Amino acid sequence: MTRAWRGAILSVSHDPALDPAAVRHEADGLLVVEDGIVVARGPFADLAERFADVPVERLDGLIVPGFVDCHVHYPQMDSMAAHGEQLLDWLERHIFPAERAFADPAHARAVAGVFCDELLRNGTTSALVFPTVHAHSVDALFEAAMARAMRLVGGKVLMDWGPPGLCDTVETARAETEALIAKWRGRGRLGYAITPRFALTSSDDQLAMAGDLLARHRDVLLHTHLSENTRECAQVRARFTDARDYLDVYDRFGLVGARSVFAHGIHLSGHECARLAESGAGIAVCPSSNLFLGSGMFDFTQAAEFGVRLGLGSDVGAGTTFSLLHTAGLAYQAGLARGHRLDPFRALWLATAAGAALLHVEDRVGALGEGQEADFVLLDPAATPLLARRTRGAALAETLFALQVLGDDRAVSRTYVMGRCAWDRDTARFHPFSEPGP
Ligand code: GUN
Ligand code: ZN
235 C-alpha to center of ligand 2: Å? Answer: 18
Classify domain 2-65+367-430 at the CATH topology level. Answer: Urease, subunit C; domain 1 (2.30.40)
- 148-196: per-residue pLDDT in tens? 999 999 999 999 999 999 999 999 999 999 999 999 999 999 999 999 9
- Using the 8-state DSSP alphabet, how is residue 76 labeled? G
Neighbouring C-alpha atoms within 13 Å toward the C-beta of 188: 23
Contact yes or no for 288/319 (Cβ under 8 A): yes
Pairing of strands 429-430, 376-379: unpaired
Residue 438 has pLDDT above 80, yes or no: no
For 296, the 3-state DSSP assignment is coil
Q: Is the CB of 289 under 6 A from ligand 1?
A: yes
Q: Is the CB of 197 under 6 A from ligand 1?
A: yes
The residue nearest atom 5 of ligand 1, judged by CA position, is: 91
Q: Which of 87, 161, 226 to mutate to test the pocket of ligand 1 (most atoms within 8 A of CB)?
A: 87
161 C-alpha to center of ligand 1: Å? Answer: 14
Q: Is the CB of 264 under 6 A from ligand 1?
A: no
User: In degrees to the nearest 10, what's the CA dihedral of 382, 383, 389, 391?
Assistant: -50
- % of the chain at pLDDT higher than 70: 99
Q: Is the CB of 73 under 6 A from ligand 1?
A: yes
- 304-322: per-residue pLDDT in tens? 999 999 999 999 999 999 9
Average pLDDT score over residue span 18-27: 97
133 C-alpha to center of ligand 1: Å? Answer: 13
Cα–Cα distance, 87 to 80 (Å, whole number): 13
Contact yes or no for 272/233 (Cβ under 8 A): no
- Residue 286 CA, distance from chain mean position: 10
Q: Which of 129, 197, 266, 291 to mutate to test the pocket of ligand 1 (most atoms within 8 A of CB)?
A: 197
The ligand whose atoms approach the alpha carbon of 197 most closely is: 1
pTM: 0.98
Cα–Cα distance, 5 to 57 (Å, whole number): 5
- Using the 8-state DSSP alphabet, how is residue 119 labeled? H
Neighbouring C-alpha atoms within 13 Å toward the C-beta of 27: 3
Q: Is the CB of 240 under 6 A from ligand 1?
A: no
Q: Is the CB of 74 under 6 A from ligand 1?
A: no
118 C-alpha to center of ligand 2: Å? Answer: 17
The atom of ligand 1 lying closest to the CA of 319 is 9
The atom of ligand 1 lying closest to the CA of 73 is 6
Residue 259 has pLDDT above 70, yes or no: yes
The ligand whose atoms approach the alpha carbon of 99 most closely is: 1
Average pLDDT score over residue span 121-126: 98
The residue nearest atom 11 of ligand 1, judged by CA position, is: 225
The atom of ligand 1 lying closest to the CA of 200 is 2
Among the four given CATH numbers 3.10.105.10, 3.20.20.140, 3.20.20.70, 1.10.1040.10, the one describing domain 67-342: 3.20.20.140
- % of the chain at pLDDT higher than 90: 98
428 C-alpha to center of ligand 1: Å? Answer: 32
The ligand whose atoms approach the alpha carbon of 80 most closely is: 1
Per-domain residue ranges of the chain: 2-65+367-430, 67-342
Res 435: pLDDT: 74
6 C-alpha to center of ligand 2: Å? Answer: 38
Res 168: pLDDT: 98
Q: Is the CB of 99 under 6 A from ligand 1?
A: no
The band of 437, judged by pLDDT with boundaries at 50, 70 and 90, is: low
377 C-alpha to center of ligand 2: Å? Answer: 25
CA angle 198, 324, 432 (to 5 degrees): 100
Q: Is the CB of 95 under 6 A from ligand 1?
A: yes
Q: How many residues does the chain have?
A: 438
Average pLDDT score over residue span 339-349: 98
Res 434: pLDDT: 77
356 C-alpha to center of ligand 2: Å? Answer: 18
198 C-alpha to center of ligand 2: Å? Answer: 9
> Mean pLDDT for the chain?
98
